Structure 1
Amino acid sequence: MHRVGEILEFTNVSQWNWVPTNLNPADLATKTNNANKYKTWLHGPDYLLQDQHEWPICDDLGPPNNAEVRHNILFIDNSPMELKLNAEYFSDWRRLYRALARFILYIEKLKAKQKKASPPTEVSYEMIQQARTLLLRHAQSSEFNPEIRNLTRDENQLLRTRGRAENLNGQNQILLPYGHHITRLIVNWYHQEMHHTSHETCINRIRGMFYIPRLRVLYKGMRKSCQRCKNESAMPVPPQMAPLPIARLAAYQRPFTYVGIDYFGPFLVAVGRRSEKRWVVIFTCLTIRAVHIELACSLDTASCIMCIRNFINRRGTPRQIYSDNGTNFKAAEKIICDKAQTINFNAVQPAFDDIKWKFNPPAAPHMGEHGSDFKDDEAITPNHLLLGSASGYKPVFETTHTVQHMWQAVQEFADQFWRRWVREYVPDLARRGKWFTKRPPIAAGDVVVILDENLPRNRWPKGIVEQTILAKDNQFTVEVCCDHIHLMDLHVIFS
């Protein structure tokens, strides 16, 4: 630009000469040319070696003024104006057509100002109808352009079906494309008008006004994406049944090595002329399913420790204890496990610091190994190890066995029990009776509905997952925060 300005300032047109395009050496650097014209590039065209009166002449050399010469072309498009709008920005049919109606109100104000008339002040019913018509025409033009040009339209330039139900609303149905965003907004609006119920009635109302191909498929997909419908139709999604823990498969271990503890009751007992409450503490061997029962006078920590002490004096010190999150169990765990070295329960008892106490998550009793679906086999019972036989009678040894060698017979009897236990009992435990399919783990931040059997479905609280604890099989125990209450619950529903 500056170079051209200098040329126009310090020269005039009479000093210029014309170079034809086919002889211009400057084009060799900017245009593709396979010809070998290095001489032209270095020395210029050949006519420069001739007399100046033989050079090419151009009569209209140079522009008449400094203005750029342009050719004005007028193009008139008689095609109808297409409505340009971003309908995907809206998620509600009513908000969409009312927003367009307000834009029409703005246009009417501009027209009134141009005509110096009083402008309208609010959106009228006619503007809303005009907005709806424009939106329906926009939806049809995106899919049915060839049909719009070839078929007859109504007074609003809309495509309608020609069927036998035209007397239902005085006119035929408006044709709408299946996958258009405006179509989905209309279907969703009717669904909300029916308060997310009476789905067949809702479909019939839509069919009374519009013809939408595959309407049932569209309506079903819309219900799957509706948050309220998902909450009302949600079902618990249990994870795949986990493998049995070591406590259930501890073969060749003495009874009550792995113990589950729980309370049941209370029961009224007669003490003189008055009645008092008593509770029963049940100790269950998680391996052979043997049961030990102790009587508790109250639910406090001291009574709980006394029952555990009586149990250990009779059955020995367990390796692991499983229980729920009762306050008495929590306090007993601190005393027995954390302060075992400072408290001496019994001088002849083994050290209590060998005990490991595990607590089940709240509202998840199935994590306490409470039973399994199997048929009782009378041929093998816990009494075989506790009492020596199923009925309680001790096996009689031959007189040829000395006292010193009886331990071999007892060991062989125990080995027979455990062999049958592994062969007959474990296969029933290993079978998954339910929860066969693995589920994707719930992640922190997911919104869930917490199943509460004591409340009706529409009163179930919602929660946000704060933390998930993955098990060895990548299934989960989830911590839910709901109304500032921390719940540990596997019965959660994705919402």
Structure 2
Amino acid sequence: MVKLEVVNSLSANSALTALNNVFLQCGTPRKIYSDNGTNFVKCNKEIKKFLDQLEESSKLDNRNIEWIFSPPGAPWYNGTVERLISVTKRCLRCLDASFRSFEDARSTFLKIESVINGRPIVQDDDRWISPFEIAYGRQQQPLIDVNADLDTNGNWPKRLKEVRSKFENFWRSQYLASLNQNNQPKITDIKIGDYVLLPSDRFIKRNKWPIAKIIDICNNSNNDDKVIRSVKIRRLSDDAEYIRPVNGMILLDRYKN
């Protein structure tokens, strides 16, 4: 399970308040793993001081928290946490991060928390189980879809357009830019309905190449070798149709149901 809290600053007091909020929801942990941030080091001292005072005043409360810090200069030491931090940042790039208030920021991070905790991690027969279901024993069913925004001023179409634009830019920079010549389709593997990146002679980056849909396979002069040498495509930007050779095209991953 991932719990995200929004803080006003990176001070130790803000971090301590955020930790206490998590403890109130999930219970006090036995161990905490973190990096060597000065706010975390101070939080550790304050928690130890509080637990020592609590132990003196009440012998029934024997809580103890062991705070384990990763070595300095080793961000990979706590790899699982760092991976989830990366996932959180990726989700944040896909959403509208122009926060207008503290409550707006908190709502956005709760959406991200819901998405991460709703990911499938364990398969049970024919269905996948999420961290949320493992923790609470029930499926995650929010009243409002995590990708939907309520906007009483009628501005939701504009907000939706902004979110889509952000997601498209993120998709181009993260996915399309990662494609290379190894993604070129095999000359016998192209199918009608596939989407491809069209090579450009304008010396622009690959993630800026136009995207086109293959709508027909052209007849070649020599069909004995079953080699596809040219196809008819429809460019998505202007719906224009062209016949182009397959040389240099990069095949996008097919969607699988």
TM-score bracket relative to the smaller structure: 0.3 to 0.5
Structure whose alpha-carbon radius of gyration is higher: 1
